[in-house]
Structure 1
Amino acid sequence: MHDQTPVQIAWVTQDLTATEMALTALMGAKKWVRMPGVHFGPETCTYRGEPADFVADISLSYAGDTQLELIAPVSGTSIYTEFLGRSGPGLHHVCTAYPDPDSFEAAVARARQDGIPVVMEGTMPGGMRFAYVGAEHAGVPYLEFAYIPDEIHALFDHIKQEQK
């Protein structure tokens, strides 16, 4: 869990277009790739320990080597809808990536052992695994741990190349 360089900064918003425009102006992102209607189902995702079932629109870009992610909840309950209800739109999490499933699992297990709650976790299509941990009481909304398989890395590299 320690000595991990963040690979992504993410915001939750109700308006993808407005947030894309703001981050384009502020951070120099050139092209955004939208993934509408991404479904997180109860077979592959949990939220606060219970099966989750929600949909979100996602938009990705890059500022240098850092991925920018925008998440707009569409339906269902998740840490994204919870965050919007509590705080309104804003910076939601940073993500650190692990090179293999074992190191990802070890990071999640260490968080649990240290008493840091795993708020939401799951597997996305393509095999990307994620776990959000939080220290909300200390002003740290969420940190996302991820294992990103080669197929998803290729997609992310393509999006990064679109910025040049």
Structure 2
Amino acid sequence: MSEAEAVGVRIAQIGVVVRDMRATMEEYHRVLGWGPWSVFILEGERHHHTHLRGEPRPYSMQIAVTSVEGIDYELIEPLDGPSIYKEFLAAHGEGIHHILCDSPGGVSADLNERLLAAGMAISMGGRVGANLRYQYLEAEGVLGGVVIETYSGDVEPPTYVWPEEETDGSVR
């Protein structure tokens, strides 16, 4: 890939797989002061067209996202069904799972094509709501073995925000 092709691709998010999202979210808030967290419960009709290694597979998760200096930090707790998150927990325990890359206006098909041409493969993906589509690309020996998430579409409002902010600016 030329330098010109790489321009615009940025790290938008660091994704961490955890066993207990709520406890981990509270710990980050207590220790680092991070928050508020936008929490998304992705299951049922809201989370659809899910697939794992090319096969349709239903799975669910809950995630919490907060922004830290312009980069989103995401906690992911797998719920029902098989997923690369559960595989990661079984093999490595909790920890950094992936980085999400995007470009102005959302990720273009170009980035997925480049990653696939470089030897990466789509391991898992799905859709959220009306038009958000995400996928994870991974391969040993490509980009240091880092899993890359890409997406297109619009993020829907969270299920809830934690901690809730009171009208006086305090949190509860």
Between 1:31-40 and 1:10-19, the stretch displaced more is 31-40
Matched, 1:134 2:113: no
Match of 2:16, as an amino acid?
W
Which entry has the higher C-alpha Rg, 1 or 2? 2
Q: Residue 14 of structure 2 contacts residue 98 of structure 2 at CA under 8 Å; is this kept in 1? A: yes
Query: Could you tell me how far 1:136 is from its partner in structure 2?
Result: 3.9
Q: Residue 42 of structure 2 contacts residue 128 of structure 2 at CA under 8 Å; is this kept in 1? A: no
RMSD over aligned CA atoms reads 2.8
1:24-103 equivalent positions in 2, closer than 5 A: 24-25=29-30, 27-39=32-44, 40-41=47-48, 44-99=49-104
Report sequence identity in percent. Answer: 26
| Structure (1 or 2) with the greater helix fraction | 1
Within 2, Cα distance between the matches of 1:28 and 1:112? 38
1:5-28: CA deviation from partner (whole Å, max 9, x where unpaired): 111111010111332134335554
Query: Could you tell me how far 1:100 is from its partner in structure 2?
Result: 5.1
Q: 1:122 to 1:86 in 2, by over 3 A?
A: same
Within 1, Cα distance between the matches of 2:77 and 2:38? 14
Q: 1:122 to 1:104 in 2, by over 3 A?
A: farther
1:22-59: CA deviation from partner (whole Å, max 9, x where unpaired): 43355541212222343444xx1221111120010111
Within 1, Cα distance between the matches of 2:151 and 2:30? 28
Look up the match of 2:15. Answer: 10
1:49-71: CA deviation from partner (whole Å, max 9, x where unpaired): 11120010111111121111111
Within 2, Cα distance between the matches of 1:130 and 1:98? 14
Query: Could you tell me how far 1:81 is from its partner in structure 2?
Result: 0.9
Aligned residues, how many?
154
